[in-house]
Amino acid sequence: MGMTKVDTSIVAEGMREKIRRDVQLVPGVRPRLVGFLCADRRLQSFDDARDFATGAPSHNCRKPVANKDPAARKYAEWTGRAATKDGIEYELREVEACELGAALHAANKDDDVHGILIYYPVFGFQPSFFGGSMDDQLRDAISPQKDVEGLCTTYRHNLYRNIRRVDRWRRSIVPCTPLAVVKCLEHVGVHKRDGGGMAGVVCSVVNRSEIVGRPLAAMLANDGATVYSIDIDSIYVMRKGEMAPCKLSPEEAIKASDVVVLGVPSPKYKLKVATLKKGAVVVNVSGFKNLDDSDATDDDVYTYIPLVGRVTVACLERSLVCLYKQYHVPKLRLKKALKWLPAALAAAAALGAIAMKKRA
């Protein structure tokens, strides 16, 4: 028996086939996605924090610094290639961290931009004058009508309260990597599409980040699972609408889990295959391989999903198309109709004049 490895490109391609059809909703126009990648991933001084709040560039901000996060740049490259192939206009804008607030404001106002994403982290855990972290402020700076990552206040509020729609006509957007994990679990049959969801399934999510770990744990819990949210210094058990401290050790929680999601952003963290429950599904969402299978034998029966990057990009495109259809297509169709209105009125007037002449 041993390990069964899942090819996630099958999941991604199934989603992208529909995306290629949907991007053609308005003839001559394609949805446009803008990604922001900061040249300086590190905060150099307190002046940078002050300048982010005021929007005025500092001396430090004028110094070009190479991107220190290769994973973020790789994600940007994948996004660009996939978007181009699927008929989506994609633009990568590289800006200094302290100028990002103003750049987001401009993109929000630009009617030709239909989706916005930021390649995190930008400021990391740097606190904000307005509360929370500076990256939190960036997430909330994106308009809900363009937030393809589903990380702004509106969508976070909906996710944790299991509210699936913004209103009667519009769906809420959820974070792309957590959604990619759910799509992969659907593919292997753990997440039931017939309405059963994750009822009766026990999961462990190792990492409680605000971008992946915590929203994923909430999504799985809202779909019926019992979720152990494991972080460096604590474990919580999450069920629909509930989160409570847990006395289990990480090893005990993982051993009890049907699904284990590994998202530790470090090459040093390695989970031994022997720790897994027999028949468990393991999903690696970290940029590093968090699973140590060096001692695995044929008696270690588990399903391994090593990468979700392709599915994450497909989910990103899916969110863009959803926002495009919900907020932008009606405006584009009206704009096209109004463009031809003067000509149509002129033609109608000419036909009316001809008819009058005939009657005369």
The pLDDT tens digits for 8-19 are 999 999 999 999
Please give the biggest Cα pair distance in the chain.
98
pLDDT for 54: 37
Residue 77: DSSP 8-state = H
The low-confidence residues of the chain, meaning pLDDT below 70, are: 1, 40-69, 331-345, 349, 360
pLDDT for 63: 35
Query: If we measure between CA atoms, which residue out of 198, 247, 248 comes closest to residue 222?
Result: 198
H-helix or E-strand spanning residue 19 = helix 9-22
Buried b (16+ CB within 10 A) or exposed e, 30-47: bbbbbbbbbbbbebbeee
Q: CA 79 to CA 249: how far, in whole Å?
A: 38
Active site residues: 176
pLDDT for 354: 76
By the 10 Å C-beta count (0-12 exposed, 13-18 middle, 19+ buried), 245 is classed as exposed
Q: CA 89 to CA 114: how far, in whole Å?
A: 10
Do residues 212 and 284 make contact, with C-beta atoms less than 8 angstroms apart? no
Q: CA 6 to CA 4: how far, in whole Å?
A: 7
The pLDDT tens digits for 259-314 are 999 999 999 999 999 999 999 999 999 989 999 999 899 889 999 999 999 999 99
Peptide bond preceding 178 in cis form (omega within 30 of 0)? no
Residue 303: DSSP 8-state = E
Do residues 199 and 258 make contact, with C-beta atoms less than 8 angstroms apart? no
pLDDT for 335: 57
Separation in Å, CA 147 to CA 26, 107, 141, 162: 21, 11, 9, 18
pLDDT for 55: 40
Phi/psi at 337 (nearest 5 deg)?
-65, -45
CATH numbers and ranges of domains, the chain? 29-145 (3.40.50.10860), 178-310 (3.40.50.720)
Query: If we measure between CA atoms, which residue out of 213, 177, 116 comes closest to residue 310?
Result: 177
pLDDT for 275: 95
Separation in Å, CA 128 to CA 52, 124, 125, 156, 256: 9, 11, 9, 19, 39
Q: Tokens 């028996």, residue?
A: 1
**pTM attached to this predicted model:** 0.84
| Backbone φ/ψ region at 344: left (φ over 0), alpha (ψ -120 to 50), beta | alpha
